[in-house]
C-alpha cells in the first residue's frame, strides 16, 4: 500500500506526524500546568476575600457591643434618669446618628418601662418610642403597659405620633434572651416588618443585661434592665455584593442553624425572607428553591460534619488548597471555600465563597482551543515545509509553560514574555498582572512593619523619674499597628513632683486607628505647652478631633495627675472610666465615679476634673484599656476586672515594673498563647 504512495506525499507525512504528536503533548502539559496555576491563584484570592469579610464583620459586629457598653456606663453612672425615660430621647437620637452602623438602640427595665430610637428601613424618619406610667394612664392599659411611637425630624424633635400598642419589654425575645444569657451577646436574627414602608428586613440584635452591683443594703447584684443595639443584615449583604468573585461566583453567610444570614446574589433572584405561619422569618438555606443556595448549604453541612470527625476530603472533591476544594454546586464544578467566623459573642457563622471552575479556566480553555488550531496548522505546514515550521510553532508554547511554572513556584520577579499568538499574549499579560499584584501585597506588608516601628517610637521610651512615684507602662498591639495610646505628659506649670499620665483607646485597630491615635497624641502634647486642667485638655482635644473625623470615628481617653509629695490625685475621663486605685493599707480597691462621652463624637462638650486622695505609700493606681480585661481566656470567659484586681493585689509589694510584669504573666496564663483580639495597654503608678 505504501509503495503506491508518492514519496512527495509520504515524506512530509512521516516528518509531520512526530511534530503533530509533540505539539499535542506540549499543549497538554501546558494546559495542565496553567490550570493548576489558575486554581492556585484564584484560591489565594478567595482567601484574601475571606480576610476582607472577616475584617468587615469585625467592624460591623463590634459597633453594637461598644454602643451598649457606652450606654451601660451612662446608666450606671446616673447620667440617664431611669425614672424619666422621656429625657432619653435627645441623647439616644444623638447617639444613633453618630453610630450610623447600627439601626437603633433600645432599653427595657425590670419594671416594664421601655424606650428606643430606631431607623426602620423604608421609613423617612427615625422613630422614638416610650412606654412608661404616663403611656399606661393615657391609653388605659394598667396591666400590660402601652408603648407610643413618634416620628422625629433631622434634629431629633418630635413630628407626630405614628402608632401605639400594648407592650411589655420583659416578655420580648431580646429581653428574655439577654436575661437568660446573663452577659453581652448576640441573639438569633429575626425579621423587622415595616408596615408603613411596605418592607421587611433581617435584623441582628446585640443585647446586654445591666446589673446594679451588690452593696451594703443589696447582698446580690440586681438586674435593672436590658440594652439592645441592632443593625440590618441587608447592610452586610450589600457589602458582600461589592466583592468581586468572578462573573457568576457568589458569597453566602450561614449560622449554625443553617439560616441564610447574608449573600451576594441579586436580591431579585434570592429572597432573604420567608413566611412561616403568616409571619416573616429567616430562611433555612438548605430548603430554599435556588439550587446555588441549597447546594452550597448542603456542602457546608457536609464540610462541618467532616471536620468534626477529622475525615479526609471526599473522593469526588478535588482539594486545590487547604480549605478550598472543587465541588459540584448547582450542577457545575465550582471552586468553593468555607471558613468559620466566631469572633463575636453568641455567633458561630460559616462564610462560603463559590466560583465556577469553567469561568476561572475560561482563559485556559480559550488558549487551549487556539493551541489546538495552531497544532493542526503546524501539522499542515510541516507537511509542506518540514521540521523547521514545527519547531517554530512549538517553541513559544514550551517557553510559556516554563515561565508560567516559575511564577507558580513563587518567582514573582519573573516576567512572562508574550508568545506569538494573541491568546498566548493575553495569558502572559494576565500572569504578569497577578504576579505584580502579589508583589504589591508584599510591599504593603513591609510598609506596615515600618509603620509599626514608627508607632512604637511614638510611645514613651521609659517612665519619668519623679520623686515619690514609681511608674511603668506597657502596650501590646494585636496587629502591626493599633489604636491604643499611653503617654507621660509635661503640662506647663505642673510641679516637678507631679506626674501627668494619659491612656486612650481608638475604636477598632489597624492603620486607621493608629493614624487617629497619632493625631490625638500630637494635639494633646501641643496643648500641654500652656497651663490647663485635665478637663480643659480633653475639651481642646475633643474639639479638634470632631473637626478632623466629623463624628465618624471616636476614641476614649483617661488623664490622671498624681502628686508625689501629697499623694493627691486628679483625673478626667472621656468615655474611658475612672482609674483603678488599690489602697494597700486597707487591702481594698477604692471606688470612683464620673466621666464624659468619648472624644470625636460631639463638639462643645465639657469634661470635668475630679479629685481623689490623698493616697498613702504603697497605694497603686492602674490605668488600662478594655483590651486587658475583655480578652478571652482559654475557657472562653473574659479575663475580667476581678482577676485583674487579684493580680494587682497579689503583686502589690513589688515595684511598678514588676507589678506590670506580674499582670502580663497572669494574663498570659489565663488567655494562653492564642492570637490577641484587641490592643492591650496599661500604666501602673505606685506611691512610694
Question: Are 367 and 360 a contacting pair, CB within 8 Å?
Answer: no
DSSP string, 136-163: HHHTT-TTT-EEEEEEE-TTS-EEEEEE
Give me the pLDDT at residue 675, please: 52
Give me the pLDDT at residue 195, please: 44
Burial of residue 585 (number of CB atoms within 10 Å: 0-12, 13-18, 19+): exposed
| Eight-class DSSP state of 550 | T
CA dist 31 → 26, 74, 361, 363, 415 (Å): 8, 65, 10, 10, 19
Q: Which of 492, 611, 621, 482 is nearest to 555 (CA)?
A: 482
CB-side neighbour CA atoms (13 Å) of 614: 10
CB-side neighbour CA atoms (13 Å) of 639: 26
> Average per-residue pLDDT in the chain?
79
Give me the pLDDT at residue 316, please: 44
Question: Are 475 and 486 a contacting pair, CB within 8 Å?
Answer: yes
Give me the pLDDT at residue 300, please: 81
Instruction: Please report, rounded to a whole number, the percentage of residues in the chain having pLDDT higher than 90.
Output: 19
The CA distance from 128 to 86, in Å, is: 9
Q: Does the pLDDT at position 225 exceed 80?
A: yes
The CA distance from 258 to 349, in Å, is: 9
Distance of CA 436 to the CA centre of its chain: 28
- Which segment of 257-266, 338-347, 505-514, 627-636 scores lowest on mean pLDDT? 505-514
Q: Which of 626, 558, 629, 630 is nearest to 595 (CA)?
A: 558
Give me the pLDDT at residue 229, please: 93
SS (H, E, C) 616-666: CCCCEEEEECHHHHCCECCCCCECCHHHHHHHHHHCCCCCHHHHHHHHHHH
Question: Are 458 and 488 a contacting pair, CB within 8 Å?
Answer: no
CA dist 502 → 159, 579, 593, 638 (Å): 44, 11, 18, 25
Omega within 30 of 0 (cis) for the link into 614:
yes
The CA distance from 132 to 88, in Å, is: 12
Kindly report, residue by residue over 137-194, the tens digit of the pLDDT: 989 888 888 999 999 999 999 999 998 999 999 999 999 999 999 999 999 887 665 4
Amino acid at each position: 500500500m505504501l509503495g503506491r504512495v508518492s514519496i512527495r506525499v509520504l515524506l512530509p507525512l512521516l516528518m509531520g506526524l512526530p511534530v503533530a504528536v509533540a505539539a499535542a503533548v506540549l499543549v497538554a502539559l501546558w494546559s495542565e500546568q496553567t490550570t493548576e496555576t489558575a486554581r492556585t491563584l484564584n484560591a489565594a484570592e478567595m482567601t484574601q476575600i475571606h480576610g476582607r469579610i472577616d475584617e468587615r464583620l469585625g467592624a460591623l459586629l463590634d459597633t453594637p457591643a461598644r454602643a451598649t457598653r457606652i450606654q451601660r456606663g451612662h446608666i450606671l453612672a446616673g447620667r440617664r434618669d431611669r425614672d424619666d425615660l422621656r429625657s432619653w430621647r435627645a441623647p439616644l437620637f444623638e447617639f444613633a446618628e453618630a453610630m450610623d452602623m447600627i439601626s437603633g438602640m433600645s432599653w427595657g427595665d425590670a419594671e416594664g418601662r421601655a424606650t428606643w430610637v430606631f431607623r426602620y428601613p423604608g421609613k423617612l424618619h427615625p422613630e422614638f418610642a416610650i412606654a412608661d406610667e404616663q403611656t399606661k394612664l393615657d391609653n388605659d392599659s394598667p396591666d400590660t403597659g402601652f408603648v407610643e411611637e413618634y416620628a422625629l425630624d433631622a434634629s431629633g424633635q418630635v413630628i407626630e405620633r405614628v402608632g401605639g400598642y400594648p407592650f411589655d419589654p420583659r416578655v420580648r425575645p431580646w429581653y428574655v434572651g439577654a436575661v437568660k444569657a446573663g452577659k453581652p451577646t448576640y441573639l438569633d436574627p429575626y425579621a423587622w416588618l415595616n408596615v408603613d414602608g411596605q418592607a421587611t428586613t433581617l435584623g441582628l440584635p446585640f443585647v446586654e443585661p445591666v446589673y446594679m452591683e451588690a452593696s451594703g443594703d443589696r447582698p446580690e447584684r440586681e438586674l435593672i434592665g436590658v440594652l439592645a443595639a441592632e443593625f440590618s443584615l441587608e447592610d452586610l449583604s450589600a457589602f458582600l455584593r461589592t466583592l468581586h468573585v468572578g462573573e457568576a461566583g457568589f458569597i453566602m453567610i450561614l449560622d449554625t442553624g443553617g439560616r441564610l444570614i447574608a449573600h451576594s446574589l441579586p436580591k431579585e433572584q434570592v429572597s432573604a425572607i420567608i413566611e412561616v405561619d403568616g409571619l416573616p422569618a429567616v430562611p433555612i438555606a438548605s430548603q430554599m428553591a435556588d439550587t446555588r443556595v441549597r447546594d452550597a448549604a448542603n456542602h457546608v453541612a457536609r464540610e462541618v460534619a467532616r471536620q468534626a470527625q477529622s475525615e479526609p476530603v471526599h473522593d469526588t472533591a478535588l482539594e486545590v488548597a487547604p480549605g478550598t476544594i472543587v465541588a459540584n454546586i448547582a450542577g457545575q464544578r465550582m471552586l468553593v471555600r468555607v471558613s468559620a467566623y466566631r469572633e463575636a459573642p453568641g455567633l458561630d457563622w460559616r462564610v462560603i465563597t463559590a466560583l465556577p471552575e469553567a469561568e476561572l479556566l475560561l482563559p485556559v480553555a480559550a488558549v487551549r482551543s487556539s493551541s489546538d488550531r495552531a497544532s493542526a496548522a503546524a501539522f499542515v505546514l510541516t507537511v509542506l515545509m518540514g521540521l523547521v515550521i514545527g519547531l517554530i510553532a512549538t517553541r513559544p508554547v514550551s517557553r510559556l509553560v516554563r515561565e508560567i511554572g516559575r511564577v507558580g513556584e513563587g518567582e514573582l520577579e519573573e516576567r512572562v514574555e508574550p508568545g506569538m499568538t494573541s491568546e498566548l499574549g493575553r495569558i502572559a499579560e494576565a500572569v504578569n498582572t497577578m504576579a505584580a499584584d502579589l508583589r504589591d501585597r508584599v510591599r504593603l506588608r513591609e510598609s506596615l512593619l515600618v509603620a509599626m516601628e514608627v508607632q512604637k517610637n511614638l510611645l514613651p521610651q521609659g517612665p519619668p523619674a519623679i520623686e515619690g512615684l514609681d511608674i511603668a507602662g506597657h502596650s501590646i498591639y494585636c496587629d502591626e499597628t493599633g489604636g491604643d495610646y499611653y503617654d507621660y505628659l509635661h503640662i506647663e506649670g505642673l510641679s516637678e513632683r507631679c506626674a501627668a499620665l494619659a491612656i486612650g483607646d481608638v475604636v477598632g485597630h489597624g492603620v486607621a486607628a493608629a493614624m487617629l491615635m497619632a493625631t490625638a497624641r500630637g494635639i494633646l502634647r501641643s496643648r500641654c505647652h500652656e497651663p490647663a486642667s485635665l478637663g480643659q485638655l480633653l475639651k481642646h482635644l475633643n474639639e479638634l478631633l470632631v473637626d478632623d473625623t466629623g463624628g465618624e470615628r471616636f476614641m476614649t481617653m483617661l488623664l490622671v495627675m498624681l502628686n508625689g509629695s501629697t499623694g493627691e490625685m486628679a483625673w478626667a475621663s472621656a468615655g474611658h472610666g475612672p482609674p483603678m486605685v488599690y489602697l494597700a493599707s486597707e487591702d481594698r480597691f477604692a471606688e470612683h465615679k464620673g466621666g464624659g462621652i468619648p472624644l470625636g463624637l460631639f463638639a462643645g462638650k465639657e469634661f470635668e476634673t475630679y479629685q481623689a486622695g490623698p493616697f498613702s505609700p504603697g497605694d497603686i493606681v492602674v490605668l488600662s484599656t478594655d483590651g486587658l480585661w475583655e480578652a478571652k481566656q482559654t475557657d472562653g470567659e473574659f479575663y475580667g476586672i476581678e482577676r485583674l484586681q487579684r493580680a494587682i493585689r497579689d503583686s502589690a509589694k513589688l515595684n511598678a515594673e514588676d507589678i506590670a510584669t506580674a499582670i502580663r504573666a497572669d494574663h498570659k496564663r489565663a488567655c494562653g498563647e492564642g492570637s490577641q483580639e484587641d490592643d492591650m495597654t496599661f500604666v501602673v503608678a505606685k506611691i512610694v
